[in-house]
């Protein structure tokens, strides 16, 4: 395994790091202030438009896209350190058009979309002329098992009719949201993994009702996480993504690279928290000396450094396997990084919060927000227990084959 940065990654990494240090991180308080002052809290603030213009000028746009010739053309391993750097800020990914749920939606449109679908939806998303949402999770069933999904996709002549209730439909409240990718059952009596389909739904289609915006530990994202009712929503049959029954396979194809992206962003969050912890420990005096002199704080710092470096190497391995052997060969490693990266990031943030004391639980630093999101992401995109189950099953298969 060779994890050395390619020449292109090395050059891009320098550009991204400068962009983050000189533009994105200084813009965080401006971003928050503009969102708070806006009449619509989901409207994109002006400072983000400025950041995106700068990212385009610097050539750090759509770095995530590994499919086809529409993106930067990087491999997963090449993109991984760039995703980490963007992940240092809550707004870093959006500034480079590398933020979820659009990234996953763009990837599956590139992989499974028809030329017409790509022209209508993918190209505007890549130009950030619109935003999108992904409607899979449902409130009344355990959506960690996609077989439980109860929403329906029924063929009616040249159209499909959609019904169901979704929640945590990220991106649905953004005024620029034009597309919802909806997952439902098109053949409830079919083979277990061929019952589900995905279909492209215009966000303004009649029958779509956003019931509420859901918070995460009290925080509300600008993009919004909506609970959404779909009632007799009609879309053309040509909007089917792939073929009927491809939904489960498409979901798996979407989530593999997406989990690598999440893992690297989590590492970026952990690095930001560790930096804040070190600076706080060096400057804050308690009981006659800086916190950095205290053995327990030094242990927190040392353990954080070891754990971050460990998950970075594990994530590089997963990315390398996806690039060289395919997503299926990396299933165990992808599951592992989804668990380990989020748990480690949360632990590091927790130590930083403790180092900051009262300031750590306030909104005066980014730590409370990082604490909330690293905890929530242990549930989102497949809960920790599901990934551990996958890893255990794959590990046990090795011994069953030898028996």
Mean pLDDT by 10 residues, the chain (403 residues): 93 98 98 96 97 97 85 91 97 96 94 96 97 96 90 98 97 97 96 96 98 94 96 98 94 76 96 98 96 97 98 96 91 95 98 98 96 95 92 93 67
| pLDDT at residue 328 in the model | 85
Please give the model's pTM, rounded to 2 decimal places: 0.94
Residues facing residue 198 across a β-bridge: 183, 241
- Identify the pLDDT of residue 255: 66
Are the CB atoms for 368 and 353 separated by under 8 Å?
A: yes
Strands (E), 58-207: 131-135, 152-156, 159-170, 177-185, 196-202
Residue 67: the pLDDT is: 73
Query: Within a 13 Å sphere around the CA of 47, how many CA atoms are in the beta-carbon half?
Result: 17
Whole-angstrom distance, CA of residue 305 vs CA of residue 270: 9
What is the predicted pLDDT for the residue at 76?
Answer: 93
* Bridge partner residues of 230 (DSSP): 164, 208
pLDDT at 34: 97
In the block, which residue shows the tokens 């991204």?
A: 16
Q: Return the pLDDT at 35.
A: 96
Q: What is the pLDDT of residue 256?
A: 66
pLDDT at 77: 95
């Amino acid at each position: 395994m060779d994890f050395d940065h390619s020449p292109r990654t090395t050059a891009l990494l320098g550009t991204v790091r400068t962009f983050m240090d000189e533009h994105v991180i200084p813009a965080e308080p401006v971003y928050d202030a503009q969102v708070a002052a806006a009449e619509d809290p989901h409207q994109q603030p002006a400072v983000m438009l400025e950041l995106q213009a700068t990212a385009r000028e610097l050539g750090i746009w759509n770095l995530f896209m590994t499919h086809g010739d529409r993106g930067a053309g990087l491999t997963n391993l090449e993109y991984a350190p760039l995703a980490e750097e963007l992940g240092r800020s809550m707004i870093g990914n959006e500034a480079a058009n590398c933020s979820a749920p659009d990234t996953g939606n763009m990837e599956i449109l590139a992989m499974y979309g028809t030329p017409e679908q790509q022209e209508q939806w993918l190209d505007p998303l890549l130009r950030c002329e619109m935003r999108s949402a992904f409607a899979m999770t449902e409130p009344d069933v355990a959506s960690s098992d996609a077989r439980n999904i109860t929403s329906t996709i029924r063929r009616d002549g040249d159209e499909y009719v959609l019904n169901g209730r979704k929640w945590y439909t990220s991106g649905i409240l953004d005024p620029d949201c034009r597309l919802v990718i909806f997952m439902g059952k098109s053949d409830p009596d079919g083979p277990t993994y061929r019952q589900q389909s995905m279909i492209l739904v215009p966000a303004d289609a009649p029958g779509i009702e956003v019931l509420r915006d859901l918070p995460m530990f009290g925080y509300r994202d600008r993009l919004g996480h909506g609970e959404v009712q779909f009632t007799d929503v009609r879309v053309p049959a040509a909007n089917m993504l792939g073929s009927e029954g491809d939904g489960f396979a498409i979901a798996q194809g979407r989530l593999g690279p997406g989990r690598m992206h999440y893992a690297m962003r989590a590492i970026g969050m952990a690095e930001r928290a560790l930096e804040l912890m070190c600076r706080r420990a060096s400057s804050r005096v308690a009981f006659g000396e800086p916190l950095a002199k205290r053995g327990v704080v030094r242990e927190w710092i040392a353990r954080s450094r070891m754990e971050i470096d460990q998950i970075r190497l594990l994530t590089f391995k997963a990315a390398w396997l996806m690039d060289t052997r395919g997503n299926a060969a990396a299933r165990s490693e992808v599951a592992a990084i989804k668990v380990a990266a989020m748990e480690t990031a949360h632990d590091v943030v927790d130590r930083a919060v403790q180092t900051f004391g009262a300031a750590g639980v306030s909104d005066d630093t980014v730590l409370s927000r990082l604490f909330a999101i690293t905890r929530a992401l242990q549930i989102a995109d497949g809960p920790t227990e599901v990934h551990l189950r996958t890893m255990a099953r794959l590990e046990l298969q090795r011994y069953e084959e030898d028996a």
